[in-house]
Homo-oligomer: A and B are copies of this chain.
Amino acid sequence: MPFTRVQLNDEFWAPRIAVNRNQTLRAQYAHLIETGRIDALKLEWKPGAEPVPHIFWESDTAKWIEAASYSLASHPDDELAAMVDHVIALLEQAQGDDGYLNVYYTVVKPGKRWTNLRDNHELYCAGHLIEAGVAHAQATGSDRLLNVVRRYADYIATVFGRDAGKKRGYCGHEEIELALVKLYRQTGDSKYLNLARYFVDERGQSPYYFDIEARERGDDPASYWAKTYDYCQAQHPVRELSRVAGHAVRAMYLYSGVADIVAETGDPELLAASERLWKHLCGANMYITGGIGPSSHNEGFSTDYDLPNLTAYAETCAAIGLVFWNHRLLHIDLDGRFADIVERALYNGTISGVSLDGKKFFYENPLASDGTHHRQDWFGCACCPPNLARLLASVGEYVYSESELGLAVNLYVQGTGQAVVAGDVALGIKQTTRYPWDGSVRIELTPSHAAEFELRLRIPGWCRSHVIAVNGKRADAVVESGYAVVKRTWDEGDVIDLTLDMPVERVVANPGVKADQGRVAIARGPVVYCVESADNPSGASNIELPNDAEFSTSFEPGLLGGVAVIEAPGLASDPATWGDTLYQASQAAMRKAVTIRAVPYFAWDNREPGEMAVWLPKA
């Protein structure tokens, strides 16, 4: 159900969306201007001038347009609309007569377009422009940018494909696949869907296109820094994949595009591959925060269960991509395991990427810190900030799903919605909850007329006990694939009360995860907690959690924008009592009783710098 039909007025997301609109989108526009990304569209760059337009600058600008468009769709804002129009006008001017639209290959390396798909993000930038064009059209009803990106897509369709004279290439950084499916859905032109399918199916075929184009450039394919095309998911045909590998963001964007194609075509092989990849990712390669891709070396996956905390790469964009992919899988098969992943990433590893004031960003999201890792205003490679902006501006999209059968509530967020279910039933939804701080949810339904349909309420994977009442009477709903199903004739004023038991939990990791061995994480509901030195004067890394420690929870409205804080009695080593001693018999090593105070992981590094830890050793 598109976010345009979902209004959030909760205390968790609504303020974040407002900060995103009022702070983040403005600040990012300023950065796009300051760094030359917008002016580069004037195509006035001359050799020797600084800055040199970069190969992926359009992607940053495009993601910002997409984010701003989403924001405009729910909150009219003349100033923001003017910024968007300014950029769109420049994009219109920057587009070539043939439809081509890429500053780098127009002014920095003219004549070299499509010569290095492997490394240079050309189709990736095109994909983000297409997403921006679709988003802008949906948000504003204007076809201006959509026409631009459609012309570009039409041109791309003349360049790539299996027909004689076309290049059998595909992009080293996936993105255009999912963008083309969006364009297909917006325009109804199956050419775009077919091109997306071509890009997916051609990927990883032998002989490798990246080998061929490298030789055409005069490069030795064997000198590829990443050694194999697993880095960009192009070592094997996509439908044969069974293990996540390589650059995590690229993988997520590819898998999202694959899921889109499955949704459109029902392709059973691609669906089976998706299922294999999902199991591999979520069973052995995902942080508890929904962060993925532990290695900085390839910004991506390494070996199963290799999930180091201090050095976790866990790029913000990768967690966002995980949301995109699992949201798509959820709409192929309404299974709570997909929504669980969406929720895990949304409440933890994605929004950790932005500061509470909306102005600073993490590229990497480690699960432990020695106090030296901090958010930054912007990055040379600035993919993450506008990616967060577009996620936040459209987060309402993840709350509900509608279908012939009825309505599914995927996430619990206070607000309203307008669905269409069971053919012709216009369904008003009002959700009242303090989720994620409280597990009580009230849903009031206002169908346009009394009608029988299913209401599917997601029972989160973290929840081990729940109660459902309809109009005050307990309802024993069967849970199917993670959703409690209440099927009945619904009428105006029907009220559903869902109570999700939400105790503080000690979470342990699979024994394969050596980094977390002997440690526990604290979680409550969907929120993963961490300890920071700001709350724990003994230092986050010196705290140990006794097995029998009892937790207490309190909501602190003035802290970190309003969060539930968890406390427990703990023990802390006292470095001062150790002096020069490096090893001691344990009975001689003094520890002191402390109150462990844990805050949501997503809110870390918003106060004075200090240590942080998610996984605590047992005392």
| Chain A residues within CB distance 8 Å of chain B | 279, 282-284, 286, 288, 310, 462, 464, 505-514, 517-521, 539, 541-542, 544, 573-575, 578, 580-587, 589, 616-619
Contact = CB atoms under 8 A, between A and B. Distances in A.
A578 B513 CA distance: 12
Contact of A511 (B283, B512, B574): B574
B513 A582 contact: yes
A508 B617 contact: no
B583 A510 contact: yes
A581 to B, nearest CB: 6
Nearest to A288: B583
Query: What number of copies of this chain does the assembly contain?
Result: 2
Nearest to A618: B618
Contacts of A279: 580
Contact of A583 (B464, B509, B619): B509
A582 B510 contact: yes
B505 A585 contact: yes
A283 B581 contact: yes
A512 B617 CA distance: 14
Given A618-B618, A618-B619, A583 B518 contact: no
A541 B513 contact: no
Contacts of A542: 511, 517
A511 B573 contact: yes
B505 A284 contact: no
B520 A541 contact: no
A581 B517 contact: no
A356 to B, nearest CB: 26
A145 B511 CA distance: 58
A507 B586 CA distance: 5
Q: Pick the most buried of A462, A505, A539, A616: most chain B CB atoms within 10 A of its CB.
A: A505
A584 B507 CA distance: 5
A585 B511 contact: no
Contacts of A521: 583
A582 B286 contact: yes
Q: Pick the most buried of A511, A521, A541: most chain B CB atoms within 10 A of its CB.
A: A511
26 contacts: A279-B580, A282-B582, A283-B580, A283-B581, A286-B582, A288-B583, A464-B585, A506-B587, A507-B583, A507-B586, A508-B585, A509-B583, A510-B575, A510-B581, A511-B542, A511-B573, A513-B582, A517-B542, A517-B617, A518-B519, A518-B616, A521-B583, A617-B617, A617-B618, A618-B618, A618-B619
